Structure 1
Amino acid sequence: MKPHLRRNMLILALGIGFLVLTALFGTFISNYEDAPHEASAQIQKQQAGPYEITLQVNPNPPSINTPATIIIQVVRSGTQQLLTNAHVSISGEMPEMNMSPNQAEAKLQKNGTYTTNFQFSMSGSWLLQVRIEAPDHQLRTQASR
């Protein structure tokens, strides 16, 4: 075999080997990001003005590949009556990262809860801020995920 042909075959073999290793590494990284991370409390409650807000993230911990469902229930503390005439939105950010917050609007469900799909773009600790605009109040509360 001629020397230049042997050199070209070696370069081709090394190139194919590099591509295979790169693909294996990419698969490893992709699977690592999907690995379960530490979950927060399944249900979190927070007092905000005259209301008690209950927040639940499903699945917990959420995946970065599909949006999580966030369920919010707002109850007037004194009467335990569900607040069903509010505009509820969520803003979420990672305090350690310098990124714009993710935002979502929650829709009222028949059972008196508000739900939304929320995309957690990275794994780690998130700070969720729930904004409630009711006819008689405008409130914000925070929960950690």
Structure 2
Amino acid sequence: TVRALKRLANVQAVLGAGVLLCAALMFFFAPPIVFPNITYSNPPAAVPTNNAVNVQTKQIGDLSVTLQVLPGRVGYANTVVVTMTDSNGMPVTDAQVRLITNMQIMDMGTQVATVKGGNPTYVATFEKGQAFSMAGVWVINVRIQRPGHAPVQGSFQVSLSL
């Protein structure tokens, strides 16, 4: 039995040396790491920094609605300005406008502002920590209620920069 144990220990030593030799050969003869020379054709996405992209006009029901976000930057109080004209081109002054903001790709929470009529320009200011807290594309849902008319709604997408 002592002889068998010595033989078993010798076989295990030879097998261990063989494994170490194989590992050394694999390391020595490993193919080189070559990173492919890839030229990416798409430039990285950048958020526009000018305010011109934050002025949009859409047809919502029978109204032509223009929405503008000023200054359109994160870390500032942002003002949403809405103007409307009816199908005759006359300014709408008797509406109640409800604005609901949320980020398009990430739920940053919704903020709601309601602006009543009396003026052809409907203005809502969202304080710095209240809405538009991250750069990117934001969705502003606009719901317009006028006396004697059914409510209409639409959405605008605006890009905010840092």
TM-score w.r.t. the length of structure 2 is 0.59
Unmatched tracts of structure 1, length 5 or more = 1-35
Aligned partners of 1:73 and 1:121: how far apart in 2?
Answer: 24
Aligned partners of 2:77 and 2:155: how far apart in 1?
Answer: 20
Aligned partners of 2:81 and 2:106: how far apart in 1?
Answer: 25
Equivalent residue of 1:84, what SS? Answer: coil
Alignment-mate amino acid for residue 64 of structure 2: E
- Does structure 2 retain, via aligned residues, the 8 Å contact 1:107–1:116? no
Structure 1, residues 97-138: CA drift from partner, whole Å, max 9, x if none? Answer: 13321221225464x110011231111110111111111120
Match of 1:113 among 118, 121, 127: 121
Which residue of structure 2 aligns with residue 66 of structure 1? 76
- Equivalent runs, 1:73-84 vs 2, <5 Å: 73-77=83-87, 79-84=88-93
Aligned partners of 1:68 and 1:98: how far apart in 2?
Answer: 19
Backbone CA RMSD of aligned residues: 2.0
- Equivalent runs, 1:24-43 vs 2, <5 Å: 37-39=47-49, 41-43=53-55
Alignment-mate amino acid for residue 101 of structure 2: G
User: Would the alpha carbon gap of residues 72 and 86 (structure 1) be closer, same or farther in structure 2, given more than 3 Å must change?
Assistant: same
Aligned partners of 2:54 and 2:133: how far apart in 1?
Answer: 20
Mark the structure with the bigger radius of gyration: 2
Identity within the alignment, %? 28
Unmatched tracts of structure 2, length 5 or more = 1-45
Aligned partners of 1:46 and 1:80: how far apart in 2?
Answer: 14
Equivalent residue of 1:126, what SS? Answer: strand
TM-score w.r.t. the length of structure 1 is 0.65
Which residue of structure 2 aligns with residue 132 of structure 1? 144
